[in-house]
Every structure is written in C-alpha cells, then in structure tokens.
Amino acid sequence: MTGGTFVGMPAFPEAARAALGDTQLRHNLAHATHTIRDKRARVVAEVEEWEELRVAGTAVKEAALRDLATHLEQLEASLTARGATVHWARDAAEACAIVARVTHAHGADEVVKVKSMATAEIGLNEALEAEGIAAWETDLAELIVQLGDDLPSHILVPAIHRNRAEIREIFRRRMGDVGRPAPDDLTDEPSVLAAAARAHLREKFLRAKVAVSGANFAVAETGTLVVVESEGNGRMCLTLPEVLISVVGIEKVVPTWRDLDPLLRLLPRSSTGERMNPYTSMWSGVTPGDGPQEVHVVLIDNGRTRALADDVGRQALRCIRCSACLNVCPVYERVGGHAYGSVYPGPIGAILNPLLNGVSDPQTASLPYASSLCGACFEVCPVRIDIPSVLVDQRAQVVDSHRGDAVPKPEAVAMRATAWAFSDARRLRWAHRASGGAGRVLDRLGRTTLPGGRRAAGRLPGPGAAWTSARDLPAPPAESFRAWWQRTDGGRR
Amino acid sequence: MTSARDEILAAVRAALDGVEPAGPLPPPPTVRPVDDLVGLFVERVEDYRAVVTRCAADEVAATVAAALAGGSAVVPSGLGIEVPGSVVDPSTGSGHRDGLSATDLDGIDAVVTAARVGIAETGTIVLDHAEDQGRRAISLVPDLHVCVVRADQVVADVPDAVALLDPARALTWISGPSATSDIELDRVEGVHGPRTLHVVLVE
Ligand code: SF4
C-alpha cells in the first residue's frame, strides 16, 4: 500500500485555486490553525525570557551549520563507538536503497514507522513497496493519510483536512485490508477512533522486527538521537523491534549535549502549544539489554548541501519542523498544505523546497510566490528564520533562471511591478501598508537588494499580484489583501 | 569512485567555503527560582490529566497498591518497593530476550517504576532506565504506569534536568499520558503508550 504522491502536482496557483473551492478543507484548516496558534501564544507568554531562548536556539543551530563537516564527522565517530552503523546517502534513491537492504538482510517484509519528514521527503514508503516491503505508518494522522490513500497536508497534523466522519469511513473500509479490522460498532468519537488505531497497530508493533524513524536532533558529542512525539507510537518503534533504522538529514546535528536545552524548551511550546510533548525518547547507539540491539543511522544530503551553499537561504536548515509558521500564515490557512505540492508546506516549504531542489521545475519555482510577505512566520519561528527575506531572494533566483526566455514568466512581470512599487514614495507607503508587515519586513528587504537594485514587498497591485490571483478569488482586485482580510475576517465571512 | 560519505563531506566544506565558524554561543537563559518546586510540579503534571498522589515515605507501598487496584503488575528488579503479586522483569543488561516478551507485557495491566528526575516547570518525569526503572519496554506496553518520584528529585526546569542526565543511557521524557489531537484537534488521552499515568510523589 502506498500513500499518494506529489509528483506531477500542478504549480501552486492552480493547486491553490482548487483548494480554495473546497469549503470543508478551508473550514478545517481555519479551525486547526487558530486553535494551535492560540495554544502556542498562551504557553509562549508564560516564558518571560522567550526572546533570549529564541536567540540561544538560533545560535545552537547556526553554530552546528557553520561547521557542519566537523560535527558530522564527530557524530559518526560517536555513533560508531556506541555500536551503531552509520550510512551516508547522497540522495533519496541511495537512502531508500540502504533501508531496503538492511530490512532484507533480516528477512523482513514489513517495517513499522514513526512519523518522519525525512522519510516522507525521500519517498521511502513507495520505494520499500517496490522492494516488496510494507511500511506501516504508526502515527494516528499518518495512518489516516495512508489508509485513505491520501497526502499529508500539515507537518504536525497531517490529516487536518479530514473530519471525524471521514476518518471513521476510512477505518471501516480499509483497516481490514491491511490487518486487524475496525470493530463493528466503530463510532466517530475521537476516543473510539483512537482506540481502534491502538488495537490495529498494537498487533504490528508486537510482531515487527524492523522499525524506521527519523530524528529531531542528533548530538555530535554523544551520538544521541532524539525523537519528540505524543502518542507513544514512537516509543513502540524505538523500543520493541530488534533492528532500528533512523533516517536523519545532515542538518539535524547539534554539537553538544547541553545544546539540547534551548531546543527542548522551544520546540514543544512552538509546535503543539504544550509546555512539553508527552514523550521524548533519547538513545545513543545500542543500549545493551534494552531496545533494538542493531541500530543503523542513515545520514542524508538530498539537496541539503545545495541549500547550505546559499548564503541567504542557508538559515532555512535551522528549521526544527515545529510548524508554527504554518499556523500563522494567512496563505496556508486558506489553501492548505496540498497546494504546495511537497511534504514541506507553508512558509518553510515555500523556501525549503526551492533551496533543496533548485527552481528549474515550474512547481517548485512557483513556491517563492506563495506568500504575502506579511512577516508573521518570522515572528513565531523559534530559530528566527527570516523567511520573508529568503522568499525575496528565491524570487530573484527564479527570475534570473528565466532571464533568457523569449516570453517573460508571469513571475518576472511581477518582479518588475515590484520594482515599480518601490520607485515612488507614495506607492511605497501604499505597499508598506498593504503588506501588513510593517517596517520590520521593509528593513529586512532593505538588506536584501535584488539584482539590478530592485526590492520586493508584499501584496502588490496589478501584475504584482501574479500568483495572488488564486488567493484573491473572492476579492475585487482593487482591494488590498490586508483590507480584504479585515473585512472578511480572514475569508470566513 | 568516491564514497557517498566523502562526497557529502566535500560538498559541505565547499558550501561553507569562506563562512566563518560561529563564535562562542550566548548562554541559554537561566532558570528562574521557583518557590514551591513540588507544588508546581504537581500542578503541571495534573495539567496533563495525569493522576498525582502525594504521600509520606512509609506510605509508598500502600499508595502504590491502591493505584494498582488489584490489577496485574510488572516491576523492575531494583524497584525497592514491595508490590505483592507482581512479576519481576530481569534487570537491564541481562539481555532482554530472556526477559518478558512484548507479547507477555501486553497481557499485564500495569507497571511500577521509579524515576531519575522530575521537572517542575513542564510537569515532566524523566526515566534513565536504571535498575529501579527497568528497560524501556516495561514502562511502555502496560496500560497503567505508576511512577514513584521523590520530592528531592524535582528540579525547576529543563536545563537542570539536562545537566543531571547521562546521555550514555537511554532516556524517556514523559509528560502526562500518551495523547493525540489528530482528529479535529480533540485531545484524546491514550493512544499507544500507557493510557493512565499515576505519579506517586514521596515527601
Ligand atoms: S521555519 Fe521556523 S516556524 Fe517554521 S517549522 Fe521551521 S522552525 Fe518552525
């Protein structure tokens, strides 16, 4: 069984237009993003020194990236000393082949999986299926997505686009095909649905020989991997099987054990809006007599060194995948995750996908335009990734890559309009007000002057609104995004 | 042919050509002193809808027995608390293939363990799976986890815990019972981990 795939997704504007027509999706998304962001705001407000904490977390990740080769070599040495086998994979295909090889070596035809962005990124489930290995997702939302032959739409709550009635239907229809069926009296109560998932998956946890995980952090000094989760499916996978394979992006490394401190204080509050998530597991290679006695770590590049070489974009590799930027993004809230055509949606996806993959593909090239540059994502980011500045820089790179085209891309036209908006003080004030991002964004833009001396701002009139035509469907073109937003309460009226 | 390892490390070095390594890091903010550490710990643990019972040292065995309510229980070999009728799991290091299998554990109602440290600010208990806590599987598979924490094990915040813990050990940070909000963001306690967490706080 495989989930859906993003290959061949339409570019962002078309996909966004389709999503905007889906009222159920928009309702679910608005409910979810508002609930999570209110929770986040409450627990962040409890921490007086939140800003210092953000600075400390940023510094840890930045220090790790700036001397990445040294830390990776140290991580490899620590892991090896602790009895783990370290593999390196240049791309998705190499990483998938390593996981398949280790699984086959144990004669297993299935693996249990903890939710992991890295394994989703490399398309591991599909690759294993082609090798005759079934990959069982064990996170409740991922299970819903997988059984529904669907695509995840949010980093944290991938099934946010499904309501309880749909989930009940999916469980009734599909659970029996792949294992223990849903009970006959299954209702659409969340606790009943969760209990059905518990029973269905427990059978798989108890018999699985091989588990696959990602890692939130990898400590170079000690060889410690960290998995942060809620449901306990992570603990099951990390504890019960004999063999554990962890697929870890090279940017997950942090130099020292003590560096976990600011990150562990930042992540749960930013992510689920909790003081701490229910479970965090840490292990350093093999623990004799406890848990998997064969431990593999696959360190993957898959575009990360490409992103690392980008002086402006490098900071995107600090991302700890908390998803706070998704929940505050007015664009994400209205179009949902699928429109981004990638496992990394929302503001971070809009910069990370082009950074990892380049902008030669039209789908990826459309992503830097999937933003109004309002700056809310930067405000909430626990590791202070300046997403608006990276977006602007990425747009310039898209335009540059089409410089030789006979017919200018709409994005190039948009960039020229951007330059026009800044060419006159009155228009600049207008753009400033319309972008809703206040002076901060403009200050940052001021640092990021584009080739030819142009600069960019948020919502722009006329051709500047190139991609925004999708988001602006209900709005008359003369009305600014900001004004429209206030009038309609974010599209809900 | 160069290996993937060498190629990736070379690409990393090339990408960072001319980039200065970071200087000394700003220290993360220190922890504010807390007046009533244990009170805050209890309040924060209860916030996750875990059950907390406070008791004196000579009441521990009785409090644990009451929490188990007559169900079957597994205990680690070094627990040091009398739990009548419980199954003792062989200690860490003895090779767990000789111990109870996951399927055996699935047939047991509860587990009783000690803890390494409690974190007041976040209501978190950390297990380092020493002999009084046992290997990871025993505190995971049974549906009820009774965890005995001494008042003197409670620290103020995450940095205190990080300083105390030994990364060479497997560590499990527990903040309330297992939970999910994956269905319409309705919080449901209890998915795969123990659905009930009962903390016995010994003063
Ligand atoms: S970019 Fe920042 S806010 Fe967004 S997911 Fe990453 S760490 Fe979180």
List pLDDT tens digits, range A50-83.
999 999 999 999 999 999 999 999 999 999 999 9
Does residue A360 lie within any of the structural domains? no
In terms of residue numbers, what domain contains B79? 35-202
Same domain, A295 and A423: no
Number of domains into which chain A is organized: 2
Helix (H) / strand (E) containing A143: helix A140-147
Closest residue of chain A to B20, computed from CA coordinates: A66
Tell me the residue length of chain A: 493
Last residue of a domain, one of A301, A317, A343: A301
Do A287 and A425 share a domain, yes or no?
Answer: no
> Looking at residues A335-360, what average pLDDT do you find?
84
Which stretches within A46-91 are classed as H helix? 50-66, 68-81
Alpha-carbon distance of B17 to B62, in angstroms, equals: 65
A447 occurs within a structural domain: yes
Asked if A290 lies within 8 A of B136 by C-beta distance, the reply is yes
Q: Whole-number mean pLDDT of chain B?
A: 92
Ligand 1 centroid to residue A269 C-alpha, Å: 12
Query: Structure tokens of A390?
Result: 């990276």
Nearest residue, CB atoms, B11 vs list A66, A232, A305:
A305
Task: Please count the other Cβ atoms lying within 10 Å of the Cβ belonging to residue B11.
Answer: 19
CB of B104 less than 8 A from some CB of A: no
**Separation in Å, CA of A299 to nearest CA in chain B:** 9
Determine, yes or no, domain membership for B48: yes
The CA distance from B83 to the nearest CA of chain A, in Å, is 23
pLDDT at residue A305 greater than cutoff 80: yes
Q: Which of B12, B20, B178 sits opposite A232 (nearest CB)?
A: B178
Q: Is B23 part of any domain?
A: no
Burial level of A14, CB count in 10 A (0-12/13-18/19+)?
A: middle
Sheet holding B110-113, edge to edge: B51-55, B196-202, B144-150, B110-113, B73-76, B87-89
**Domain range spanning residue A123?**
63-249+277-301
In a domain, B25, yes or no: no
User: How many CB atoms neighbour CB A294 within 10 A?
Assistant: 18
Amino acid at B71: G
Three-state SS at A123:
coil
Q: Is residue B28 part of a domain?
A: no
Domain of B63: which CATH number? 3.40.50.10420
Q: Which one of B8, B123, B184 has the shortest CB-CB distance to A250?
A: B8
Contact: A232, B123; criterion CB under 8 Å: no
Whether B126 is in a domain gets the answer yes
Helix (H, G, I), strand (E, B) or coil at A302: coil
- The C-alpha atoms of residue A287 and residue A279 are separated, in whole angstroms, by 19
| Any domain includes B7 | no
Asked if the structure places residue A398 within a domain, the reply is no
Q: What is the mean pLDDT of residues A249-257?
A: 98
pLDDT(A388) > 80: yes
Instruction: List all residues of chain B from 9 to 48 with a beta carbon under 8 Å from chain A.
Output: 9, 11-16, 19-22, 25-29, 32, 44, 47-48
For residue A333, is it within any domain? Answer: no
The SS3 of residue A490 is: coil
- Which residue of chain A is at minimal alpha-carbon distance from B49? A278
Residue of A nearest to B174 (CA): A279
Nearest alpha carbon to residue A34 among A277, A326, A230: A326
Lowest average pLDDT, out of A182-196, A232-246, A393-407, B55-69, goes to: A393-407
d(CA B11, CA A480): 44
Q: What does DSSP say about strands B87-89 and A210-213: parallel, antiparallel, or unpaired?
A: unpaired
Q: What are phi and psi of A490, to 5 degrees?
A: 65, 30
| For range A201-221, the mean pLDDT | 96
Residue carrying the six token digits 């290679």: A285
pTM for the model stands at: 0.85
First-last CA distance in chain B: 64
Whether the per-residue pLDDT at A240 is higher than 60: the answer is yes
Cβ atoms of residues A383 and A266 within 8 Å: yes
Q: CB-side exposure of B31: number of CA atoms within 13 Å? A: 19
Vertex A216: Cα angle to A213 and A222 (nearest 5): 95
Distance CA A440, CA A47 (A): 23
Q: Give the lowest-confidence range in A55-59, A324-328, B3-7.
A: A324-328
Q: Is the CB of A321 under 6 A from ligand 1?
A: yes
The pLDDT of B36-55, averaged and rounded, is: 96
In three-state secondary structure terms, A243 is strand
DSSP 8-state symbol, A272: T
Task: Work out the pLDDT band at A340, boundaries 50, 70, 90.
Answer: confident
Among candidate residues A139, A157, A160, A159, the one with its CA nearest the CA of residue A149: A159
**CA A367 – CA A398 distance, rounded (Å):** 10
Q: Which of B4, B12, B188 is facing A194, going by the closest CB pair?
A: B188
Identify the burial level of B6 via C-beta atoms within 10 angstroms of its C-beta, where 0-12 means exposed, 13-18 middle and 19 or more buried.
Answer: exposed
Q: For residues A115 and A110, what is the distance between their CA atoms, to the nearest angstrom?
A: 16
Distance A380 CA to ligand 1 centre (A): 8
Which residues in chain A are closer than 8 Å to B123, comparing Cβ atoms? Answer: 275-276
Number of domains in chain B: 1
Q: Say what the pLDDT of residue B91 is.
A: 59
From the list A159, A224, A290, which residue is nearest B135 (CB)? A290
The CB density around residue B101, as the number of other CB atoms within 10 Å, is 14
One-letter amino acid for residue B158 of the chain: V
Q: Are A299 and B8 in contact (CB < 8 Å)? A: yes
When pLDDT is cut at 50, 70 and 90, the band that residue A415 belongs to is very low
Q: How far is it, in rounded angstroms, from Cα A254 to Cα A267?
A: 14
What pLDDT sits at residue A454?
30
Which residues in A lie closer than 8 A to residue B190 (C-beta atoms)? 194, 198
> For A435-478, how does the pLDDT look when each residue is reduced to its tens digit (9 = 90+)?
333 333 333 333 333 333 333 332 222 222 222 222 222 222 34
Mean pLDDT of A430-434: 37
CA-based nearest distance B147→chain A, Å: 15
The answer to whether residues A178 and A1 touch, using CB atoms and an 8 Å cutoff, is yes
Cα A476 to ligand 1 centroid, rounded to whole Å: 32
One-character DSSP codes across chain B: ---HHHHHHHHHHHHTTTPPPP-SPPPPPPPPP-S-HHHHHHHHHHHTT-EEEEE-GGGHHHHHHHHHTT--EEEETT--S--TTPEEEPPTTS-GGGS--HHHHHT--EEEE--SEEETTTTEEEE---TTT--GGGGTSSSEEEEEEEGGGEESSHHHHHHH--TTS-EEEE-SS-EE-TTTT--EE-SSS-SEEEEEEE-
Q: Are B92 and A290 in contact (CB under 8 A)?
A: yes
Say yes or no for a CB contact (<8 Å) between B175 and A301.
no
Residue A126 to residue A334: CA distance in whole angstroms? 29
pLDDT of residue A11: 66
Residue A398: pLDDT band (50, 70, 90) is confident
Is the CB of residue A411 less than 8 Å from the CB of residue A398? yes
Tens digit of each residue's pLDDT (9 = 90 or more) over A110-134: 999 998 899 999 999 999 999 999 9
Q: Is the ipTM of this complex over 0.85?
A: yes
Distance from CA of B175 to the nearest CA of A (A): 4
Tell me the pLDDT of chain A averaged across its residues.
Answer: 80
The count of CB pairs under 8 A between chains A and B is 245
Q: What is the residue type of B121?
A: E
